[in-house]
C-alpha cells in the first residue's frame, strides 16, 4: 500500500511538472511573438527601417507632408504610437516629412484637363483627385477649381486636386442666383443648398487654410473657405455646388 501511494505521488508530481511546462510553453508561444512598437518620430527613414526590422516589424510609408519644423526624410508621425504591443510582422505606418514647401502651386484654372495634368506633373507635383461637375460657363473638360489654390504656401502635400467641367444638363425647375457661402458653417450651407433643391458636389478639406500654428488666423473647423460656382452666378436644379472647408 505504501508503495502504491509513493507511485501515486510520483505520478501527480510528474503531472504537475507537465502542466507547468505546458503553461510556460503556451505563454512563450503567445507572448513571445509580441513586441512593443519603437519610437520612430524624428528618425530618418533608414533608421526607422532598421528600428522596426530589429523587432521583427515592417515599415510602411503611407503619406508624405510638407513640414518646416521636421527635416525632409524624417518621420513626422506613426501609427500605432510607440509602446503599443503588436505581433511580429506587424506593419507600422508612418508619414514622412518633405521639409518646407519648396514647390510653387501653379494656376491651372481655365486650362484643359490634359494640359493642366501635364503642368502639374512638370512642376513636380502629383495629381491627386479629379472630380467632375456640370458647368455652363466653361467648355467641357476645363479646370474650374483646384485645391490648393494658386500660390498657396501652406500646402499639406505635393499634390493638386482638380474639378473639371462637364456639359450642363437641361435646366430643371427654377433658376437662381448663387448666394455667398464662404464664411458660413458647412452644416448651415448644406442645409440651405438642400432646401433650395441644389446638389452638393465634391467637398474637400482646405489644406491651405491656417492651422494651429497660426491660431490667431485659424478659422473654426467646418467653415466654408471656397465655393464653386461663385456668388452671383446662375444656378438651377442640375447645378452641383462644390465646397472646400477649413480643417
Same domain, yes or no: 182 and 67: no
Q: For the chain, how many structural domains are there in total?
A: 2
Asked whether residue 47 is domain-assigned, the answer is yes
Same domain, yes or no: 232 and 118: yes
| pLDDT at site 182 | 87
Contacts of 4 (CB under 8 A, 6+ apart): none
| pLDDT at site 40 | 93
What is the rounded distance in angstroms from the CA atom of residue 107 to the CA atom of residue 207?
16
Same domain, yes or no: 64 and 91: yes
| pLDDT at site 39 | 92
Give the number of C-alpha atoms closer than 13 A to the C-alpha of residue 60, restricted to the C-beta side: 8
Domain's final residue, options 97, 126, 144: 97
* Cell output for 21: 511546462
Same domain, yes or no: 147 and 236: yes
Same domain, yes or no: 125 and 175: yes
Asked whether residue 16 is domain-assigned, the answer is no
Same domain, yes or no: 180 and 65: no
Nearest CA among 195, 211, 197, 204 for reference residue 243:
204
pLDDT digits (tens, 9 = 90+) for 77-132: 998 998 899 998 899 999 999 888 878 888 999 999 999 999 998 888 888 888 88
Same domain, yes or no: 65 and 121: no
Coil/strand/helix, residue 116:
helix
Same domain, yes or no: 138 and 202: yes
Phi and psi at 216, nearest 5°, equal -70, -25
CATH number for the domain spanning 74: value is 3.30.10.20
Contacts of 121 (CB under 8 A, 6+ apart): 127
Same domain, yes or no: 202 and 133: yes
| pLDDT at site 8 | 58
Same domain, yes or no: 139 and 219: yes
* pLDDT under 50: residue ranges of the chain: 28-29, 208-216
pTM: 0.46
What is the rounded distance in angstroms from the CA atom of residue 126 to the CA atom of residue 66?
14
Asked whether residue 4 is domain-assigned, the answer is no
Asked whether residue 7 is domain-assigned, the answer is no
Give yes or no for a contact between 63 and 126, defined as CB atoms under 8 angstroms apart: no
Nearest CA among 66, 214, 229, 212 for reference residue 148:
66
Same domain, yes or no: 195 and 227: yes
Domain that includes residue 155, residue range: 113-246
Amino acid at each position: 500500500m505504501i508503495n502504491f501511494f509513493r507511485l501515486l505521488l510520483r505520478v501527480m508530481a510528474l503531472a504537475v511538472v507537465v502542466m507547468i511546462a505546458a503553461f510556460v510553453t503556451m505563454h512563450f508561444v503567445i507572448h513571445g511573438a509580441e513586441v512593443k512598437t519603437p519610437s520612430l518620430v524624428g528618425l530618418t527613414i533608414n533608421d526607422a527601417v532598421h528600428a522596426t526590422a530589429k523587432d521583427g516589424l515592417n515599415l510602411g510609408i503611407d503619406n508624405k507632408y510638407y513640414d518646416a519644423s521636421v527635416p525632409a526624410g524624417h518621420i513626422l508621425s506613426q501609427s500605432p504610437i510607440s509602446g503599443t504591443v503588436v505581433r511580429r510582422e506587424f506593419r507600422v505606418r508612418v508619414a514622412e516629412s518633405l521639409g518646407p514647401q519648396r514647390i510653387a502651386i501653379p494656376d491651372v484654372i481655365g486650362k484643359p484637363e490634359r494640359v493642366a495634368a501635364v503642368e502639374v506633373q512638370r512642376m513636380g507635383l502629383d495629381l491627386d483627385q479629379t472630380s467632375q461637375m456640370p458647368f455652363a460657363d466653361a467648355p467641357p473638360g476645363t479646370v474650374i477649381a483646384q485645391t490648393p489654390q494658386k500660390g498657396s504656401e501652406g500646402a499639406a502635400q505635393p499634390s493638386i486636386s482638380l474639378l473639371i467641367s462637364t456639359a450642363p444638363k437641361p435646366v430643371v425647375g427654377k433658376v437662381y442666383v448663387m448666394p455667398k457661402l464662404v464664411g458660413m458653417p458647412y452644416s448651415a450651407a448644406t442645409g440651405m443648398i438642400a432646401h433650395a433643391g441644389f446638389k452638393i458636389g465634391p467637398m474637400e478639406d482646405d489644406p491651405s487654410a491656417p492651422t494651429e500654428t497660426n491660431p490667431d488666423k485659424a478659422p473654426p473647423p467646418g467653415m466654408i473657405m471656397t465655393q464653386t460656382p461663385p456668388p452671383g452666378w446662375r444656378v438651377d436644379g442640375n447645378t452641383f455646388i462644390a465646397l472646400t472647408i477649413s480643417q
